[in-house]
Chains A and B, each alone.
Chain A
Amino acid sequence: MRRIMPLIMAMGLIATLSMSAITAEEIIANVERNKINEAERIDGSMTISDRFGSRVKTFISYAAGADKMLLEFTNPEEKGQKILRLKDEIYLYFPEAEEVIHLQGSALRDSVMGSDFSYEDMTGEGDILDQYKVTLLGEENIDGRKHYHLELEARKRGLAYPKQEAWIDAETWVMTRANSYSLSGRLLKEMELGDIRQVAGKYVPHYIIMRDAMKKNSSTEMRIQSIDLQADLPPDIFSLEELTW
């Protein structure tokens, strides 16, 4: 009987997943359809907390699709510094020196302004299904809402997180929780998303908290003050010209 029980449980799980009639790829497609916008503008802030207190960075970001983003800091300490993301390349602009720095490779995983977000976290990782093999682990109830529990395994080397777990709200298609792991399975970062509001027919989390699992008393909160999903973006906004403007 002891040998049969796990088999029965496994069959039950398979039956449950079959009944849900949705694949992991379809869930990710729904997440990306909800998340990715063709012309987006966000006014936001990032609060970095550690044992000495907190530091606030404010920013404006523009995005088009999954792999184009321009972010400009507006707080006095970093005012005018910009990050431009185009596919797997990131450009940084420092206005005081009129200098453009091109980041590639491991530098993409460097922390942004001492926060728990890396450049890749801030500017997105591009197409999830191109980069990760996704597996549906099951359904879970979180805060009274049905969630899909997914596992993401990197298809190629060099990604910031070789393995991730994600929990997707089955109604809004918002990823409300995500854990990122190293290749050896060590927990690296925990992310929670909340304050989900409907904007232009899409569900947008207005609050994100990222904790680095390796550091005590450290977290970064990101808040969206305003968001426009049908922003009137100039056609050449994702360019060197705009970066150095």
Chain B
Amino acid sequence: MKARCLRYTSAAAVLILAALALVPANLAAEVASSVTITGSASVLRVEGATQLLPGVKASLDLDSEGNKNVKGYFRLDSYIGQYVGIDVPQAYLKVRLPGFRLTMGKTRVSWGDGFVFNAGDVVFGSMETISGDLSGATLRSETAWLGAVYIPLGAFSFVEAVALPYGVPDPEAEEGTFTSDPLSASLPMYLHQLSGGVRGVFKLGRTTLETGYYASGRTKAEHRPYLSLHGHLLVDWNLSAAIAIPMFDLNWEQWDRWLGISAGLFHLVNLGLNRTLSFRLEAAIHPGADWKEIAAGRDYGLFLFPEVAFSPTDTLSLRLRSLISPVDLSTLNFLSVSWNIYQGLNIFSNLSVPIGDGDDQYQWDQDLLTAWTVGMEFVY
């Protein structure tokens, strides 16, 4: 069954890739379209051997235009490389009505604040470490089928309620494959499994206060209240805390294992001549997790994400990122160079190197973590 699905998926992906170049020219005037093609080749370490992994990813974006109260957006990703696949990461409708707006479809809501670690992101969860690609402009981009109501309360305050009937896809269940399982969405949905929540965002002087509650009913049945603050005092800062209380089998002695705290600092320095240097430091803290190195499990209490980005010219950028596990002193380090040489074209190269022993969070010989990638991305 799975093999047949994959064959259909492969055929569809090839057809879609072939059609991508033709579609934009024939679209109606009420649709804005763009295509992003990324070709890359990676040299990486898999099962002790060095492998070459070339691939091409093509994304088609269709965005409605012409109606200022209704918005439709559709994104189709296709990939041809070691495997062939298609995905629809986003497809949604937004409608603006007097006093509120509605969103329905597959998209993302960004609750809380934080680039990598964000305890306030109680919907999608941004407290786990990232073990793969650190090259993206955004490192958390999971989407899910959702319905949302947004009610503005003045220029910078609002209340938002969201419902996720299918919950959030479990990344571990997908086993790292690119293609979403089309059958996963057709499982029966029961009302008691519905996930949903509400948040309020309020501006207090130069500080933004956000608080909310989310009930996860499907993958992990939990109550998740949270509080998030962000503002500017010499540098941009954010601080969030959330507690994930199990709905069933409560054991209050483990309350500190439910708590997650994230904090972040960001500062950008303009060096003149359009040269900029930015610094970012984020921390994910799990007070009830392990604070001493252990051989198995690696459920550690502290992770750090430092980043330094330097743009010596308007079109060239260098970025050094690390994920650090201070408890076992292991790191995953990432260096990237990107050059926007012509309109829409970026040439890039990334190097990823883990440093750590065989039983650390990041292991020097761990599959896929040691990688060197060169590629080009073109948007038109």
Contact = CB atoms under 8 A, between A and B. Distances in A.
Interface of A: 48, 50, 52-56, 74, 76-77, 79-80, 86, 94, 96-100, 102, 104-107, 109-111, 114-116, 188, 212, 214-215, 218, 236, 238-241, 245
B155 A214 contact: no
19 contacts: A52-B341, A53-B343, A56-B343, A76-B34, A79-B32, A79-B34, A94-B138, A97-B140, A102-B232, A102-B236, A104-B236, A106-B268, A107-B270, A114-B274, A212-B274, A239-B156, A241-B150, A245-B94, A245-B101
A94 B276 CA distance: 20
Contact of B155 (A74, A114, A115, A239): A239
B268 to A, nearest CB: 5
A107 B201 CA distance: 24
B155 A238 contact: yes
B379 A50 contact: no
Interface in B273-316: 273-274, 276, 314-315
B144 to A, nearest CB: 12
Nearest to B340: A114
Contact of A97 (B34, B108, B232, B343): B108
A53 B342 contact: yes
B141 A76 contact: no
9 closest A-B pairs by CB: A114-B314, A76-B34, A97-B138, A55-B343, A241-B152, A239-B155, A104-B232, A214-B273, A98-B110
A240 B269 contact: no
B74 interface: no
B22 to A, nearest CB: 16
A236 B155 contact: yes
A48 B157 CA distance: 36
Contacts of B232: 102, 104-105
Nearest to A186: B272
Contact of B270 (A110, A212, A236): A110
Interface residues of B, number: 45
B188 interface: no
Interface in B251-282: 268-270, 272-274, 276
A76 to B, nearest CB: 4
Contacts of B108: 97-98
Contact of B158 (A94, A102, A214, A240): A240
Contacts of A98: 107-110
B315 A50 contact: yes
Contact of A76 (B140, B272, B273, B379): B379
Contacts of A115: 314
B14 to A, nearest CB: 24
A110 B269 CA distance: 9
Contacts of B63: 79-80
B178 interface: no
Nearest to B272: A214
A109 B270 contact: yes
A234 B344 CA distance: 33
A77 B32 CA distance: 12
Contact of A77 (B137, B208, B276, B344): B344
A245 B107 contact: no
Contact of A241 (B61, B101, B341): B101
Interface in B125-178: 137-138, 140-141, 150, 152, 154-158
B229 to A, nearest CB: 13
B45 interface: no
Nearest to B111: A98
Nearest to A48: B314
Interface in B19-61: 32, 34, 61
A215 B272 CA distance: 10
A238 B154 CA distance: 10
